[in-house]
Structure 1
């Protein structure tokens, strides 16, 4: 899947994807990722807004750090715009949605939290005041050799109350 997307090239393009997904009806069934890097299912949308190079050939520390820095800068830029619109985001720890500590053996995390928890440790969330949705940004990576992704998620408000705040950096 890496490298197959036609991703938004600028901050304005990325914001357009976020705006479109925030109002787009949720699919009735699970959708596979499209060539535009978006997919979804009942109650959610996900989008890859930016992806770094992959690390199959070279996973050197300097190369990975440079890629992480670029993705983090793009996240910070988008977060500043979204914060200007909707106020400070919540930081949500995604580790509980992996289910490792859940005593229920049949636990399945609601989407998109289940998918995001397999890619990222935390996300920044803005609750949309005009509807029962939230928007999140996260940085994730499916495997150390794969690209680092800047991800956007839109979900139903009902999926988020189960979330716990992410631990604050000391």
Structure 2
């Protein structure tokens, strides 16, 4: 785990302006009102019997929780919120704002803080689009309220 660079990346994104358009950035993706930093990405699991995937998923959750401890020192304990209902609502045609709509498709929950100084939300989560695809540890900084 890279405790040196990850908090620094989050700090940078908490002060950086948001992109005017959706697209790639130097640390991941972004768009109007949000940044998503790809802090860590695993390999894929095309040849896996499920064991490596389970171990990697557990390690990514451990890394998220370890980074979360560093953020607790700054912003107190996070709220953990499920994104499942946001995904279901978006599938039913409800307009869920970004970044929450896309995150809900591949991230079951997030650990969430609100930065008082800027009013921005900071979320940490473990993403996996499908069982064969890599895990990612993502940090999300947004001014959009969670769904």
| TM-score, normalization by structure 1 | 0.79
Residue 15 of structure 1 deviates from its aligned partner by 1.2
Q: What is the total number of aligned residue pairs between the two structures?
A: 147
Task: Give a deviation string over 1:38-59, Cα, whole Å, max 9, x none.
Answer: 111000010111112210122x
Alpha-carbon deviations, 1:91-137, whole Å to 9, x = none? 11112222x347973x2211111121011111000100101201000
Correspondence for 1:41: 31
TM-score (norm 2): 0.91
Given the alignment, which residue of 112, 129, 140 partners 1:153? 140
- Out of 24, 37, 51, the residue aligned to residue 62 of structure 1 is 51
Task: Verify the 8 A CA contact 1:94 1:117 in the aligned structure 2.
Answer: yes
**Match of residue 15, structure 2, among 23, 26, 38:** 23
- Whole-angstrom CA distance in 2 between matches of 1:45 and 1:92: 19
* Runs of 4 or more consecutive aligned structure 1 residues displaced over 6 Å after TM superposition: none
Q: Which runs of 5+ in 1 are unaligned?
A: 1-8, 164-170
User: 1:61-80, aligned counterparts within 5 Å?
Assistant: 61-80=50-69
CA distance in structure 2 between the aligned counterparts of 1:10 and 1:103, rounded to whole angstroms:
36
Structure 2 residue runs of 5 or longer lacking an equivalent are none
CA apart distance, 1:159: 2.4
Name the SS for the 1:143 alignment partner.
coil
RMSD (Å), alpha carbons: 1.9
Aligned partner of 1:168 in structure 2 is: none
Match of 1:91 in 2: 80
Secondary structure in 1 matching 2:137: strand
